[in-house]
Every structure is written in C-alpha cells, then in structure tokens.
Amino acid sequence: MKIRATLKGDLAEVRVLMVHPMETGQRKDVSGNLVPMHFIQEVQVRVNGKLALEGQISQGVSRNPVFSFRLKGAKAGDKLEIAWLDNRGERSQAETAIA
C-alpha cells in the first residue's frame, strides 16, 4: 500500500494505492480455470486513531484499487492510517504522517 497525503490549508488530499487482484470470480486463467473471487471488502481511514471514513467495496472496483479522499481539519504531522480487509479475511494496514 502506498499512501500520499498532502496538505492544502487545512484540507488533506489523500491518495492510496493498494495492491490487490480484486478478482471477480468470472475471469479464467491461462489453463481455462475460473479464478476464484478475491477482493477487498472493507477499507478504513483513521486520523490520529479516530475513524474518518469507512468504505465497503465490491469486486466491481478495479484491480490494484486507487482511492482519493479528502480530510478536513487536518494538520501537518497528523497520523493517517489506512487498513483493508478482504473476502478471505486477509488484511493489510499502512500509515503515514500528513505532510
């Protein structure tokens, strides 16, 4: 996961790049077998430990999801944490300081 959070006044523009196949379960691999569903279902964005945004997404979101969010009242140095949970129970988390 790569997070970029830049401050413009008190508004933070956040862009997060996630690595995930987001398989729909309808794609066939090279051997002709269906690749099973595997996608991120929940995304959470926390600022200084407090939940700011929650997303529920489906396999309709593109592979290697990229999201942009905007946070208000943000300050330089604020801790930004982004976590995801997928349909297999796998999870990932990353954090950065708002610059």
The footprint of other proteins (CB under 8 A) covers 2, 11, 15, 17, 19, 21, 24, 26, 41-42, 44-45, 47, 50-74, 83, 85, 91
- In single-letter form, the type of residue at position 66 comes to V
For residue 30, give the 3-state DSSP assignment: coil
Nearer Cβ to other proteins (72/99) = 72
As given in the structure block, the two tokens for residue 87 are 């349909």
Closest approach, Cβ 63 to other proteins, in A, equals 5
Closest approach, Cβ 28 to other proteins, in A, equals 13
| Distances 47 to 22, 66, 67, 80, 93 between C-alpha atoms, Å | 26, 19, 16, 5, 13
Closest approach, Cβ 15 to other proteins, in A, equals 8
